[in-house]
Structure 1
């Protein structure tokens, strides 16, 4: 873990409720794909966010923050970034980082859990180009899947990558999968014993994944997610 100050390089709205912040650390701050950082608000107030970019990209640290005034925990971080232009970070935390393997990979993301998924996805495609990777990304509406077009284009270009969007509340024109994102995985895979699965989303989603996936043959040591340390 590295403690560093970081300059706010850019702030961009991805949806009315999700904001991308790019941060340039003043010190080298190594991390593994799938790890997170903590924004240090005060000595005893540190707030975790997944790092969305892959470590080999050599880019500023990218965060996707879902924040509204009603969600003070994240909103205060966003306001601090806008007002101060500098954040104090602890970088390189978490054990649910990407492992190299011959096993096919499934990544499951709910909402802004996509930031965790994005880091692992792009890292794996870069360092393990022959590995099969499938991303299931679930959200309430299609508009909440803010990287939908880019991921669709990437899946069309790369035969090793499959993107499966899942919408909870679709409009009449939606032709894809609906409902809970982890149920979409179960619809497609009756047996999960051959897969490595990475999960990011609300604790309730992670708990449902653990409950429903273990009977489908997956080993606990090939089911990755920071939430599993608490449930």
Structure 2
């Protein structure tokens, strides 16, 4: 993939540890919703981050970078962007992009893995395809789900989209679903035989989703996630 030098338009906090990065491209670049960018930190140092914006909005790149204390992998990328005001990317990586086949879609996101599903969701809603799509987004705490209000509004405005926020460690005033995010999906679907699933999060989570959902009939050809190229 060609490398592209991008200007840093803004870096703004989404939570205490997640930053929204807006990058300006010199010209529109084609990619597919659900693909990721490689941030070029050195000749042999390329770091992947999901592209959060949909493919139709392709004159910019939006990244949601989680850099909690001790996470030098992401922290160094943010520091480079803040210091230099620009960064080099390689776009259009990954085969787990949106490829609707008419089956109802379930998107499973853990933490900032949400950015992968956000691109797919926005692309799907723009496309005019009325295939039902449900997004399950899990976080440790409610404030980790930083776009809950926007997603709830999108669900209200689109009958074929359902948003299910899931909190692992809920406070007393939380009225939504609790526990592990993929367990919420399993509570809603006894059989995944005729469902298409997209998943993003830690490798450990992706593996558990694959194991549990295939036991309930999910066909491997209907399971998408970048993690599955490595596990």
TM-score, normalization by structure 1: 0.97
In 2, Cα distance between the equivalents of 1:35 and 1:139?
A: 22
In the alignment, what sits opposite 1:102? 102
In the alignment, what sits opposite 2:89? 89
- More displaced, 127-136 or 86-95? 127-136
In the alignment, what sits opposite 1:230? 230
- More displaced, 45-54 or 25-34? 25-34
In the alignment, what sits opposite 2:123? 123
In the alignment, what sits opposite 1:80? 80
In 1, Cα distance between the equivalents of 2:181 and 2:81?
A: 32
In 2, Cα distance between the equivalents of 1:76 and 1:69?
A: 11
Q: What is the RMSD computed on CA atoms of the aligned residues?
A: 1.0
Number of aligned residues: 231
In 1, Cα distance between the equivalents of 2:28 and 2:98?
A: 21
In the alignment, what sits opposite 2:137? 137
In the alignment, what sits opposite 2:194? 194
In 2, Cα distance between the equivalents of 1:128 and 1:191?
A: 27
Gaps (5+ residues) in structure 2? none
Gaps (5+ residues) in structure 1? none
Is this contact kept in 1: 2:7–2:24, CA < 8 A?
A: yes
In the alignment, what sits opposite 1:65? 65
SS at match of 1:174: coil
Is this contact kept in 1: 2:27–2:59, CA < 8 A?
A: no
- More displaced, 49-58 or 197-206? 49-58
TM-score, normalization by structure 2: 0.97
Could you give the per-residue CA deviations for residues 57-108 of structure 1, whole angstroms, max 9, x where no partner exists? 2452000000034100000000111110110101000000000321111000
